[in-house]
Amino acid sequence: MSKITVFTAQGIHTMDDTLPWATAVAVRDGTIVEVGTLETLQPWLDSGPYEIDNRFADKFLMPGFIDPHLHPFVGAVLLPTTFITAFEWDLPSGRVAPTRGRVAYLQALSHAVTQDSGELPIFVTWGYHPIWHGEITRQDLNAISANRPIVVWHRSFHEVILNDAAIEFLAIDRDVMARHPQIDDARGRFFEMGGMVALEALKPILFAPDWFGQGLGQLHKIVHQGGHTTVADLAWGMFDYEMEWSVSQNSFATEQPPYRMMVVPRGLPDAELTGSAQDAFDRVHALTDRGNDRMFLNKNVKFFADGAFFSQLMQMDAPGYIDGHYGEWMTAPQQLRDIMRPYWMAGYGIHVHCTGDLGMDLVLDILAQFQDEKPRFDHRFTVEHFGVATSEQVRRLAALGGIVSANVYYLHELGEAYWKHAIGHERAVHMGRLGTLKRHNVPFALHSDFTMAPAQPLRNAWVAVNRLGESGAVLGPNERISVHDAMRAITIDAAFVLGQEDSIGSIRAGKRADFTVLDADPYSVDPLTLKDVRVHATIFAGQPHVVAD
Amino acid sequence: MDLIPCLVVSGYLGAGKTTLINRFLADPHGVRAVVLINDFGKVNIDSHLIENASENTIELSNGCACCSIGDNLLRAAHLAAQRQPRPDLIVVEASGVARPDRIATLLLGAAGLADAQIVTVVDVSQTRAALADKYISHLFLHQIAVAHWLAPNRETPDSDELLHRLNGRAHNGGHRIKTLTQVMDKLLCLPKNDGRAPKAAMLAPGDDNQPVDEFAAQTVTIPDGTAHDIVTAWLSALPEHIHRVKGFARLCNSDGGLALYSLSKTRAQVRLELTTASIPVDVVGQIVLIAPVSLGWDHLKFPIPWVSAP
């Protein structure tokens, strides 16, 4: 029998309402033996060798944070870029302070290019947005460097600006540039479909081992410094099932990052359903017979209903968008139902990317039909993102037993922009309607969808509790939730969304010894400073891993 | 260099896009087309037409090829435009939920392609249901609104009234067609596009009543042993209106030997190539010419004695 280790703390929020508060937790072989006080643990300590580890005695422990929805491969592509952003980000290289205004942006960019080591073949910065940074052109970038290829990558991913050196380096076809309606030749700006031209040329660089490998290494650090001990890749197979699996396996084996990753495959293996739904199911199901303790599968699957929230492509019911445009379906409505059915019948936990209220109607219609065809209890059918939804839809979701994994960060970054430019005040300030979920007892988790939002659970909890827009105004005060509910949404309720609540998400005897160690008590600090509570360390499977300063 | 004409075949799920494409591939009238599709499983090609098949490409003996789009249309289109011999036409099958105008814009990112024209296939029997469906009615109407060409399918007794209403929505013309060949005939006759002309110059927005040119095939016989040079001269001299010529003939080389040639002319491009293909005897020497009916066969005076009117 291995030795027991007891971690003591100023306080432990167990996230188990039966015994919510403790000061010591005993672990052995990566598993929790008991949580309580040094006195209550005594029978265990009397039974054999043990040590008391007091290094976190002045800290606060929580169950290891869980991000139930992120995309490691998108992160790996993006992280080697230089972040110059209008909003604050925490990266392994340090805290990125907000940069706003055109002059400040160009100064920051010029400084970054000068500081850049030049190891990678091209300098890429991410985070530019004209709302905050004004109009940046090819000439501005040429003035910064005539030789170093510079790529300015828009916050939304759909747009880039190149200097002449980058246009040369990427060998962009000049004829295509001249005639494409979504490429502004003079300004070096590639947007929407024109952006794809530049990104296509960038792909060989972004997916090269030196870029991508460095990105995965940074991703491990970000996940750790956010305080996570479990994350879910919520679209395994986004690029290529086997490539992603082997790259992740290698990276986990060689770098041993202190977290585990649940892998949720995309359930429609092709761009659209072409053969029978049963065949598509069989193909994906056959892939799921693999995994280990660090990368595991759990009969969960991912689908996509309507378009991207950041691109204003969510499907909105009447009265729609102010400018009259329409959203998009990522999967044709009837195909979405057809392809999901075999998974429902086979007892899978189904996760559906759903961003607008018309998308929500569709997803609810499908769930209602499945409940008619084969009623299931405790099915964990999860609406992912939960951008815009009505109160009535939440009530119907509750009636059908559905649950939610929300990207509430949308509200902070887009709430005011969408109020003024997309869907008006009433619907924009009520995006991420968490208060309504609470009133209808719908379990919900918070996620980052990294890199759509920072992979920092406390930052997302801060948005959920305060609902501050970018200007600092409170948006939709009746949809705010308590600190306790926000903390549940990044621990036990996130575990519930993943079907992992038996092993992670709270601190009790028998669960994994995964903890997050905080400098301050999130329940005691001013809620307005919740995002600033520092993650000091994590304890993964009983082993402490301190976050570097 | 000329830009390669390009068609986007759009339409909601089950509208009949693949059927339209299959029918075209079975008889492409001598046009060397590359068809980009989502799934090979649905392409229905006679096995005797398949010359070569790999994971992502099926080569047909009639000069066409089918390529899989996979998850990267821009790359697939780029590769298609680079194929040798250079394709006469690129056809892209859009996914059922795609907005074809967005696909057309995306395709402008592939060097060498002309502005794509949009063919929207409409399952007329499903139209009322689609218009009443809150999830797809906007998409359904949008696909029609941006169509240069409408291909109605599974028509019903009230088709005309319905199609008339839909035509009213099509602000890019929405000319009615039955087959892709009709569009191709029109496209390949278009004046050369220098690539900088605005989209509207490709095709004036037509009204519903404007007839689409009908094209008809005529056959010319070239007897065995005709001199290679004479046939080359004849092909080159054919009026531009006859935009497609295709067939096989046994010709006399400069050294006096007889050999089987494949000959074709598409737009201004003459091809006369030695071939080892096994061609049925009754087909050798039968050259098919396709010309607009409005031109009238009588106007076509070939300065060659062995041209025979059908």
Q: What's the complex ipTM?
A: 0.84
Residues ≥6 apart with Cβ < 8 Å to A391: A433, A436
Identify the residue with better confidence: B39 or A347. Answer: A347
Closest CA to B181 of B96, B119, B247, B104: B119
- Residue A228 near residue A65, CB atoms below 8 Å: yes
Name the band, by pLDDT with cuts 50, 70 and 90, for residue B155. confident
Q: Is A49 on the interface with B (CB under 8 A)?
A: no
* CA within 13 Å, CB half, B84: 0
C-alpha distances (whole Å) from B252 to each of A67, A175, A445, B231, B236 are 76, 44, 79, 10, 18
Minimum mean pLDDT range among A32-36, B96-100, B269-273:
B269-273
Query: Does this model's pTM top 0.95?
Result: no
Residue with tokens 């005309």: B160
Are residues B95 and A271, on separate chains, in Cβ contact within 8 Å? yes
Q: What is the pLDDT of residue B67?
A: 92
Average pLDDT over residues B1-5: 85
Mean pLDDT of chain B: 80
Q: What is the pLDDT of residue B222?
A: 85
Test mutation, A158, A170, A174, A270, chain B, max B CBs within 10 A: A270
Q: What is the pLDDT of residue B296?
A: 55
Q: Per this entry, what is the length of chain A?
A: 549
Q: Is B196 on the interface with A (CB under 8 A)?
A: yes
Distance CA B90, CA B264 (A): 18
Distance CA A474, CA A484 (A): 19
Q: What is the pLDDT of residue B282?
A: 72
Q: Which of A506-520, B94-108, B161-175, B207-221 has the highest mean pLDDT?
A: A506-520
Closest CA to A523 of A6, A15, A25, A7: A15
Closest CA to A84 of A104, A54, A59: A104
Q: Is A335 on the interface with B (CB under 8 A)?
A: yes
Buried b (16+ CB within 10 A) or exposed e, A314-335: bbbbeebbeeeebbbbbbbbbb
pLDDT along chain A (549 residues), means of 10: 95 98 98 98 96 98 98 90 93 90 97 91 94 93 96 90 96 92 92 90 87 90 97 91 90 95 94 87 95 94 94 94 93 95 98 98 98 98 98 98 97 95 97 98 97 94 97 97 98 98 98 98 98 97 94
Residue at A138: amino acid letter: R
Three-state SS string over chain B comes to CCCECEEEEECCCCCCHHHHHHHHHHCCCCCCEEEEECCHHHCCCCHHHEEEECCCEEEECCCCEEEECCCCHHHHHHHHHHCCCCCCEEEEECCCCCCHHHHHHHHCCCCCECCCEEEEEEEHHHHHHHHHCCCCHHHHHHHHHCCCEEEEECCCCCHHHHHHHHHHHCCCCCEECCCHHHHHHHHHHCCCCCCCCCHHHHCCCCCCCCCCCCEEEEEEECCCCEEHHHHHHHHHHCCCCCCEEEEEEEEECCCCCEEEEEEEEECCEEEEEECCCCCCCCCCCEEEEEEEHHHCHHHCCCCCCCCCCC
Q: Is B56 on the interface with A (CB under 8 A)?
A: no
Q: Is A276 on the interface with B (CB under 8 A)?
A: no
Residue at A292: amino acid letter: N
Distance CA A141, CA A187 (A): 10
Q: What is the pLDDT of residue B277?
A: 72
* Omega cis (within 30) before A319: yes
Residue A506: helix, strand or coil by DSSP? coil
Paired tokens of A425: 């005040």
B221 bridge partner residues: B286
What is the pairing mode between strands A123-128 and A82-83? parallel
Are residues A332 and B136, on separate chains, in Cβ contact within 8 Å? yes
The order of strands in the sheet holding A295-296 is A65-70, A228-236, A260-265, A295-296
Paired tokens of A168: 């040369």
Task: Return the sign of the alpha-carbon dihedral for residues A276, A282, A287, A293.
Answer: positive
Residue at A59: amino acid letter: K
Paired tokens of A533: 């509570």
Closest CA to B183 of B161, B166, B206, B154: B206
Residues of chain B positioned with their CB less than 8 A from the CB of A321: none
Are residues A181 and B105, on separate chains, in Cβ contact within 8 Å? yes
Distance CA B37, CA A178 (A): 28
Are residues B109 and A194, on separate chains, in Cβ contact within 8 Å? yes
Q: What are the helix (H) ranges across A116-172?
A: 130-133, 138-144, 164-169
Residues ≥6 apart with Cβ < 8 Å to A172: A162, A197, A198, A201
Determine which helix (DSSP H) or strand (DSSP E) holds A511, and give its type and residue range: none
Distance CA A101, CA B274 (A): 67
Identify the residue with better confidence: B104 or B299. Answer: B104
C-alpha distances (whole Å) from A61 to each of A58, A65, A438, A518 are 10, 11, 25, 6
Are residues B108 and A196, on separate chains, in Cβ contact within 8 Å? no
Angle (CA) B12-B17-B18 rounded to 5° is 130
Residues ≥6 apart with Cβ < 8 Å to A426: none
Q: What is the pLDDT of residue B302?
A: 46
Instruction: Give the distance from residue B96's alpha carbon to the nearest chain A alpha carbon, in angstroms.
Output: 7
Q: Which DSSP symbol is given to A2? A: P
Residues ≥6 apart with Cβ < 8 Å to A380: A300, A349, A350, A403, A496, A497, A499
Distance CA A105, CA A82 (A): 13
Paired tokens of B67: 């390529």
Residue with tokens 């590639």: A190
Q: Is A279 on the interface with B (CB under 8 A)?
A: no
Q: Is B134 on the interface with A (CB under 8 A)?
A: yes
Residue B198 has pLDDT above 50, yes or no: no
Q: What is the pLDDT of residue B307?
A: 43
Average pLDDT over residues B184-206: 47
Residue A131: helix, strand or coil by DSSP? helix
Q: What is the pLDDT of residue B204?
A: 36
Q: What is the pLDDT of residue B197?
A: 35
Residue A365: helix, strand or coil by DSSP? helix
How far does Cα B266 stand from its chain's mean position? 11
A540 bridge partner residues: A543
Distance CA B231, CA A450 (A): 66
Distance CA A1, CA A306 (A): 53
Distance CA A335, CA A326 (A): 20
- Chain pair A-B, CB pairs under 8 angstroms: 86
C-alpha distances (whole Å) from B48 to each of B52, B61, B62, B64 are 11, 8, 10, 14
Distance CA A452, CA B210 (A): 50
* Omega cis (within 30) before A451: yes
Instruction: Give the distance from residue B153's alpha carbon to the nearest chain A alpha carbon, in angstroms.
Output: 20
Distance CA A268, CA A265 (A): 9
Q: What is the pLDDT of residue B114?
A: 92
The beta-carbon neighbor of B106 closest among A196, A330, A333 is A196
The beta-carbon neighbor of B13 closest among A271, A332, A362 is A332
Distance CA A357, CA A373 (A): 24
Contacts 24+ apart (CB under 8 A), A462-465: A462/A486, A462/A527, A462/A528, A462/A530, A462/A531, A463/A408, A463/A409, A463/A411, A463/A412, A463/A432, A464/A406, A464/A408, A464/A432, A464/A434, A464/A489, A465/A527, A465/A530
The beta-carbon neighbor of B42 closest among A274, A315, A334 is A274
Q: Is A174 on the interface with B (CB under 8 A)?
A: no
* Rg from Cα positions in chain A: 24
Average pLDDT over residues B276-295: 71
Q: What is the pLDDT of residue B203?
A: 34
Paired tokens of A35: 């949580």
Residue A459: helix, strand or coil by DSSP? helix
The beta-carbon neighbor of A200 closest among B74, B96, B133 is B74
Name the band, by pLDDT with cuts 50, 70 and 90, for residue B294. low
Distance CA A77, CA A436 (A): 36
Distance CA A134, CA A136 (A): 6
